[in-house]
Structure 1
Amino acid sequence: MCNVTRYQKNMSILYIDHEINNLNSFKASFRRDATVYVADSTDAGMKILKEQQIDVIFADHQMPDMTGLEFFKMVSGEFPESIRVLMTGQAYSAEFKHAEVRGYFHSYISKPWDEQDLRRLIVAHSV
């Protein structure tokens, strides 16, 4: 198991996904390690970003109101200090590669996500 004591003190994480079960699982997995905010829409995620200092943003790509990639394109300029992680069940495409090169997101995680992979990613970005 990953050593969570290596997390940055008071790290805050936002997870955006329209699937409530995913939100509940994520929050249950990480609530002891960081301050976790969850949002079931990109609008709710944007509201949290405007009200809280967020260190890491995870967003599902397949959202009903806008894709995770569209959301990251929108917030990357306004919240450049946040690490942005795209989560999707889709294959890594040319569109994703182009967006990553442009800096819209920093990492890509395949769904269904693995808790230990997410922990390693969080630790890597928190040091």
Structure 2
Amino acid sequence: MSILYVDHEINNLNSFKATFRRDAEIYLAESTEEGLKILGENKIDVIFADHQMPDMTGLEFLTLASNQYPSSIRVLLTGNAYTDEFKRAAGKGYFHSYVNKPWDEQQLRKLMISNLR
């Protein structure tokens, strides 16, 4: 399994990699631009994207990813409340799951396992 995690906070990226490095091949991106580059160069099974990114939102990033890489499982991570905008985007298939930050390791593991079966 290959996972891309996009987040501008380096501590979150390091924590994610340390937590899941034994479970999957982990790719990290500090920007959505870097995330798109990684997607273009690798087959990614699961994409996690922080919503509060500086150049484009995680939702915008996952919308692009859903069009270009529709077979990937896409998960939005955010500290914000689940808004009507998120509900509409989920209904259109732009992302499959939503996780509140700070994320819980067991919740992410269950998401990975259930979505890849």
Out of 48, 59, 63, the residue aligned to residue 58 of structure 1 is: 48
Out of 79, 86, 93, the residue aligned to residue 89 of structure 1 is: 79
1:74: how far off? 1.4
TM-score by length of 1: 0.91
Which structure has the bigger radius of gyration? 1
Aligned twin of 2:3: 13
Deviations 1:29-80 (A, max 9, x none): 0000100000000000000000000000000000000000011111211100
Aligned partner of 1:35: which letter? E
TM-score by length of 2: 0.99
Aligned twin of 2:99: 109
Aligned-CA RMSD value = 0.4
1:44-55 matches, within 5 Å, as: 44-55=34-45
- Structure 1's consecutive aligned runs of 4 or more residues displaced over 3 angstroms after TM superposition are none
Greater relative contact order (Cα < 8 A, sep 6+): 1
Sequence identity percentage: 68
1:87: how far off? 0.2
Q: Can you give the 5+ residue segments of structure 2 that lack an aligned partner in the other structure?
A: none
Aligned twin of 1:32: 22
Measure the CA separation in 2 of the matches of 1:112 and 1:56: 18
1:93: how far off? 0.3
SS of 1:98's equivalent in the other structure is: helix
Q: Can you give the 5+ residue segments of structure 1 that lack an aligned partner in the other structure?
A: 1-10
